[in-house]
């Protein structure tokens, strides 16, 4: 199988990247990925660049989230209950236990008629 021009160009680029200093790799990372890296691990930066070029890493600046103050609420539950909750959120296709609990809380608040509080979740 013959290598395409693009494959040859990528091979040349990767070979060239191997000779870059960490600072040059970080600058190239910024150019390719669109956001800086503080990593000084050569192998990691090279791997991340390859992943970005192959479309497996999100390219572009980090999404700016609205900074809303949060409070952490302690919630102590029996281990068997947590295991049951974990099975339930996985069955429902939810991304996490926390999302499951937020939705459950929102649903209960709506049931109670606490619509404004439910909407804030």
Residue-level pLDDT, tens digit, the chain, 121 residues: 455 555 444 545 778 888 899 999 999 999 888 899 999 999 999 999 989 888 888 888 777 777 778 889 999 999 999 999 999 999 999 999 999 999 999 999 999 999 999 998 8
Same domain for 11 and 49: yes
How many domains, the chain?
Answer: 2
How far is it, in rounded angstroms, from Cα 93 to Cα 6?
39
DSSP per residue, 56-97: -S--SSPP--------PPP----HHHHHHHHHHHHHTT-S-H
How far is it, in rounded angstroms, from Cα 52 to Cα 33?
7
Question: What's residue 4's pLDDT?
Answer: 52
Same domain for 49 and 13: yes
Is the distance from CB of 57 to CB of 37 less than 8 angstroms? Answer: no
Question: What's residue 1's pLDDT?
Answer: 47
Same domain for 48 and 87: no
Does 63 map to a domain?
no
Same domain for 83 and 49: no
Same domain for 49 and 9: yes
Does 42 map to a domain?
yes
Does 69 map to a domain?
no
Range of the structural domain that residue 23 is part of: 5-53
């Amino acid at each position: 199988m013959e290598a395409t021009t693009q494959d040859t160009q990528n091979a040349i680029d990767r070979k060239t990247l191997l000779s870059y200093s960490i600072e040059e790799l970080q600058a190239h990372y910024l150019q390719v990925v669109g956001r800086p890296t503080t990593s000084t691990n050569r192998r990691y930066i090279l791997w991340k660049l390859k992943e970005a070029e192959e479309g497996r890493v999100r390219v572009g600046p980090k999404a700016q989230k609205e900074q809303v103050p949060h409070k952490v609420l302690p919630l102590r539950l029996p281990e068997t209950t947590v295991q049951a909750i974990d099975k339930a959120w996985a069955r429902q296709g939810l991304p996490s236990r926390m999302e499951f609990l937020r939705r459950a809380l929102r649903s209960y608040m709506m049931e109670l008629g606490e619509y404004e509080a439910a909407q804030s979740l």
